[in-house]
Amino acid sequence: MKKEKGLLIVLSGPAGVGKGTVCGALRQEDTNIQYSVSATTRNPREGEVDGVNYFFRSRDEFENMIVNDQLLEWAEYVGNYYGTPIDYVKETINKGTDIILEIEVQGALKVKERFPEGVFIFLMPPSLAELRSRIVGRGTETEDIINKRMTVAKEEIDMMKKYDYVVENDQVDLAVDRIKAIVTAEHCKRERLIEKYKQLVEVE
């Protein structure tokens, strides 16, 4: 019987909503979900391994990947490129393994253009007041930056309509349970299974 492909799960939402925390908790609970490894031109930090933490590439190599359309999405941040290699994602899902990509909203929408069959989940804060509290709690942002982040967050929340699912991150364990339920349901979708089960009724 034909093997079922894995899912590309894209988790995004405004800064401070807890994407990294939820993604980390999800991976600890579900060993079949693999974290997407990004390519970058920044230098490896101590202890980082090529192909595990990042695919470390030279600037020329990365720009060749852009030209050759080998990235689902990419961006330049503080002088370095970051992006998601298409081949890595396809190889992972073709093995039957789910892969999760934790990414900002604009990047997620770029991925949806290239890979519409992915599962797009928008992580929502319980309220804007709670989101602001979480950003303030980091202790790393100035008041001006916090206000700018909140303005962007309102714009990003308006983009929720372009996602398949919305999950409120009121408590991390509950958010993880909701995402796991979504993944289970997606694996049961008719269109994902129809080719696999056609073989049962084919006349030899």
Closest CA to 75 of 101, 54, 52, 104: 104
pLDDT at 2: 59
Angle between helices 172-187 and 19-29 (to 10 degrees): 60
Per-residue confidence band for 204, with pLDDT thresholds at 50, 70 and 90: low
pLDDT tens figures, 100-133: 998 888 889 889 998 999 999 999 998 888 888 8
Look up residue 13 and give its two tokens.
Answer: 């939402």
pLDDT at 203: 53
Look up residue 62 and give its two tokens.
Answer: 């990365």
Greater model confidence, 25 or 201: 25
pLDDT at 142: 81
Q: Where are the domains of the chain?
A: 8-36+97-198
pLDDT tens figures, 153-200: 888 899 999 999 999 999 999 999 999 999 999 999 988 788 777 777
Average pLDDT over residues 132-148: 80
> What is the helix (H) or strand (E) element at residue 54, kind and residue range?
strand 54-56
Average pLDDT over residues 12-33: 86
CATH top class, domain 8-36+97-198: alpha beta
Greater model confidence, 31 or 17: 17
* pTM flag (> 0.85): no
pLDDT at 66: 96
> Is 95 a residue whose pLDDT tops 80?
yes
Lookup result for tokens 């604009």: 106
Per-residue confidence band for 1, with pLDDT thresholds at 50, 70 and 90: low
pLDDT tens figures, 27-72: 888 678 988 888 999 998 888 899 888 899 999 999 999 999 999 9
Alpha-carbon torsion angle 82, 84, 87, 88, nearest 10: 100
